[in-house]
Amino acid sequence: MSVLSGKKIVLGISGGIAAYKTASLVRLFIKAGAEVQVIMTPASKDFITPLTLSTLSKNPVHSTFYNEEDENAVWNNHVELGLWADLMVIAPATANTLSKMATGNCDNLLLATYLSAKCPVYFAPAMDLDMYKHPSTLASFNSLKQFGNIMIPAETGELASGLSGEGRMAEPENIITFLEADIASKLPLKGKKILITAGPTYEAIDPVRFIGNHSSGKMGFDIAKCAANLGAEVTLISGPTHLSTSNSSIQLIRVFSAQDMYDACHAHYENMDVAIAAAAVADYRPKNVAVQKIKKAEQSFNIELEKTKDILASLGEIKKNQFLIGFALETENEIENAKLKIQKKNLDLIVLNSLQDEGAGFGKSTNKITFIDKDFNIQPMELKSKEAVASDILNKVIAHYHA
């Protein structure tokens, strides 16, 4: 999955012949899973039509502050556009537009949006070779870099003038590659390996029946998705669940029983930087599993149970430098029980859930947690979506490595 997936991108197009390439660029953004809003300078419409770009982006194209032909026209709010974006890409960026960006000359909607943007801004220069090397253009490059804007270098080749040299706007495929590489390199969990467990475990009674629980696995899968989006390489070990993932940064290992999950965790734990045990693992399993389906015969039926191996405690015993996070689902004496679990299992952090809290627990889209670290610092959180809770948990990991 591309790091551009889910990103909100404002594409600014200025008036150069390379504007024709933006049709392909918009298609590549959409293919990568991004949402695109296009802003054109009036001059750029001489090279490519708004209709083409609105069709490809599936959004209206913006060019002026309002439609002068419609007396009831709504103002195109450049501030909202600038704040909406996760990143802004100006391609092609002509010498004229670059100069205005560098000096704050705000005479069109694109420049107004650029000055309002709070997100990273990338610019892809496009002009003839003499213009590209002119001192004023080089000064614009330097000023924009000092502002924190990121330059996508121009390429060398045949130019519209017939000359050959540096100044060609980077090809759309190369712009995508540049953006993905730059964004990935700055992700806070880049290079970290994270093991996450999710879902329930099922403990067989016979070939048909099992002992299980109501865990959906959503919390663990949301943590895995969030970690991958932050640059981590994720190994997700999941018990039986209908959930799936298509993110190439997540290795999904499906297991059935507590023993299966124990074996999978120990097979991967040694090479991990972080382990987050979000699975609802069975504490007991049938001591004897029937080979054939048990027939209904007696009025009562007893199953002898034995303890399963404690996965989290076993990981705590062999912990070296791993940052180990456990979950605790409690119904009484929540804080004290969670503190005991931190000590007993050698955890760095525990995520406490209480079934007493409305909106928390199995099968819900929300969760309400309390963080308790190994020093017993307690941080209660508000009721949030599980996606937001996942982000909070990963922020604890980021804080650990960037303290």
Per DSSP bridges, beta strands 121-125 and 87-93 are: parallel
Question: In angstroms, rounded to a whole number, what is the distance separating the alpha carbons of residues 179 and 50?
Answer: 24
Q: Which residue in the block uniquely carries the two structure tokens 């600014």?
A: 12
Question: In angstroms, rounded to a whole number, what is the distance separating the alpha carbons of residues 2 and 176?
Answer: 10
> How many secondary structure helices (H) and strands (E) does the chain include?
13, 21
Is 213 among the residues known to form the active site? yes
Side-chain half-sphere exposure of 16, counting CA atoms within 13 A: 27
The full DSSP string for 272-286 is: -SEEEE--B--SEEE
Count Cβ atoms within 10 A of the Cβ of residue 45 and give its class: 0-12 exposed, 13-18 middle, 19 or more buried.
middle
Question: In angstroms, rounded to a whole number, what is the distance separating the alpha carbons of residues 24 and 14?
Answer: 16
Question: In angstroms, rounded to a whole number, what is the distance separating the alpha carbons of residues 211 and 205?
Answer: 7
Please pick, among 59, 77, 96, 213, the residue that the annotation labels catalytic.
213
Report which residue type is found at 33.
G
Active site residues: 213
